[in-house]
Amino acid sequence: MLMKKMGNKVHKNSKNYHFIVIMELEIFCERGKIMSGIPNIGLNEQNKIILEKVQHRGLPTRKIIQRIMLITFGAALMAVGLEIFLVPNHVIDGGIVGISIMLSYLTGWKLGLFIFLLNIPFFYIGYKQIGKTFALSTLYGIIILSIGTTLLHPVPAFTQDILLATVFGGIVLGIGVGMVIRYGGSLDGTEILAILFNKKLPFSVGEIIMFFNLFILGSAGFVFSWDRAMYSLIAYFVAYKTIDITVTGLDESKSVWIISDHSKEIGEAIMNRLGRGVTYINGEGAYSGDHKKVIFCVINRLEEAKLKEIVTENDENAFLAVADIAEVRGGRFKKRDIH
């Protein structure tokens, strides 16, 4: 009966053959394991329970502990960047934190209280839009950030030099926010709000975030002074770039695609002279119809000049495309010794 159902589905849409076979067999086997002790439950309900089990796999304990520790450290760093550098010098950050800094200045209430209260609506939105793990990680990070800013508020600023406070405050804040983002959370609801508005407005998430932050940073000119608003813009830019570095890492990797009539020679030279593995992919030119081997490999930025030299030596007319990669995992990316 099972194979008959699969046969009918494959006949109707042969492109989904592998997916249907795997899913049918998984559901068939899992139903026997999971549902044997639950009588009188419909087929749709069984499939729903099985798919939920597949989709919501729990993290290993070690990973959970690692995530908690690094989110704690990241939120604490952001608290240091705010209370030790930026806030005492009337320099703000963008997003909900920036609004919280201005409200705290105007009312005299604790900064941590506003950070927590203003982010409450975004926990639910984050849960619905991104997922439970993200929402819980964000909630935990916001709690640590709120407590950290409250505890550090009496501590005097490290420097009264406004430029030093702006630059180093942005760096410390950016490292903290980047660590939290890298390990699955967020410390500001602006990004979540932008994702929600993106579905109803003809703008990208990045454009919506930029509009929010320009409005918030501009408001600092009315609350503090216009020179503080300009310093706030500098701090925001420094923090933004630091977040990128923290999330993606300093060891930037690059993907390389090479199309050449001498693919074998180029591939062997890359393996022998760079110590990198290569993958050959069979390709066909859409216009010429020629069949060629396409070389794919991953290198770091220090090896790019050497790779271009290797390609040019073997084939000056080779097609070469190089692109940045945010992260590389698995496979055999580790470089082997070449001497």
SS3 track for 191-227? HHHHHHHHCCCCCCHHHHHHHHHHHHHHHHHHHCCHH
Helices 190-198 and 111-129 meet at what angle, rounded to 10? 40
Q: What is the DSSP letter of 301?
A: G
Region 253-262 average pLDDT:
91
Domain membership flag for residue 38: yes
pLDDT at 70: 93
The Cα 135–Cα 137 span in angstroms is 6
Last residue of a domain, one of 196, 225, 248: 248
Residues 307, 233 within the same domain? no
- Partners of residue 116 on adjacent β-strands: none
> End-to-end CA distance of the chain, in Å?
60
Q: Does residue 163 lie within any of the structural domains? A: yes
Residues with Cβ < 8 Å from 116, sequence gap 6 or more? 142, 143, 146
* Residue 72 token pair: 């704690």
Dump pLDDT digits (tens) for 212-230: 888 998 899 999 989 999 9
What does the alpha-carbon distance between residue 256 and residue 323 come to, in Å, rounded to a whole number? Answer: 7
Domain boundary among 218, 233, 248: 248
Residues 149 and 241 in one domain: yes
Express as a percent the part of the chain with pLDDT over 70. 77
Residue 10 within a domain = yes
Beta strand residue intervals within the chain, DSSP E: 253-259, 279-284, 291-300, 319-325
In a domain, 331, yes or no: no
Q: What is the pTM (predicted TM-score) of this model?
A: 0.69
Write down the residue that tokens 């990316």 correspond to. Answer: 333
Dump pLDDT digits (tens) for 161-220.
Answer: 999 999 999 999 999 998 998 888 888 887 777 767 767 777 776 677 888 888 998 899
Same domain assignment for residues 146 and 192: yes
Position 333 in a domain? no
Same domain, 185 and 230: yes
Residues 72 and 203 in one domain: yes
245 has pLDDT over 90: no
Q: Do 238 and 273 fall into the same domain?
A: no
The phi-psi region of residue 161 (left if phi > 0; otherwise alpha if psi is between -120 and 50; otherwise beta) is beta
On the 0-12 / 13-18 / 19+ scale of CB atoms within 10 A, 80 is buried
Q: Tokens 């992260």 belong to which residue?
A: 327
Asked if residue 186 and residue 65 are part of one domain, the reply reads: yes
- Is residue 4's pLDDT more than 70? no
The verdict on 111 and 244 lying in the same domain is: yes
Please give the backbone phi and psi of residue 35, each rounded to the nearest 5 degrees, phi first. -95, 0
pLDDT of residue 170: 94
Average pLDDT over residues 300-316: 88
- Identify whether residues 31 and 113 lie together within a single domain: no
Q: What's the burial of 7, exposed, middle or buried (CB within 10 Å: 0-12/13-18/19+)?
A: exposed
Q: Which of 195, 217, 218 is nearest to 207 (CA)?
A: 195
Residue 124: inside a domain, yes or no?
Answer: yes
Same domain, 86 and 221: yes
Q: Are residues 308 and 280 in the same domain?
A: yes
pLDDT band at 337 (very low <50, low <70, confident <90, very high): low
Query: Residue 229: inside a domain, yes or no?
Result: yes
Count the domains in the chain: 3
pLDDT band at 135 (very low <50, low <70, confident <90, very high): confident
Which CATH number do you get for residue 312?
3.30.70.120
Question: Which helix (H) or strand (E) segment is 273 a member of?
Answer: helix 263-273
- Categorize the per-residue pLDDT at 63 as very low, low, confident or very high, splitting at 50, 70 and 90: confident
- Please check whether residue 337 lies inside any domain of the structure: no
Of 200, 217, 248, which closes a domain?
248
Dihedral, CA of residue 271, residue 272, residue 276 and residue 280, to nearest 10: 0
Confidence band, pLDDT 50/70/90 cuts, at residue 274: confident
- Residue whose pair of structure tokens reads 């390609």 in the numeric block: 311
Are residues 31 and 165 part of one domain? no
Give the domain extent around 66: 61-248
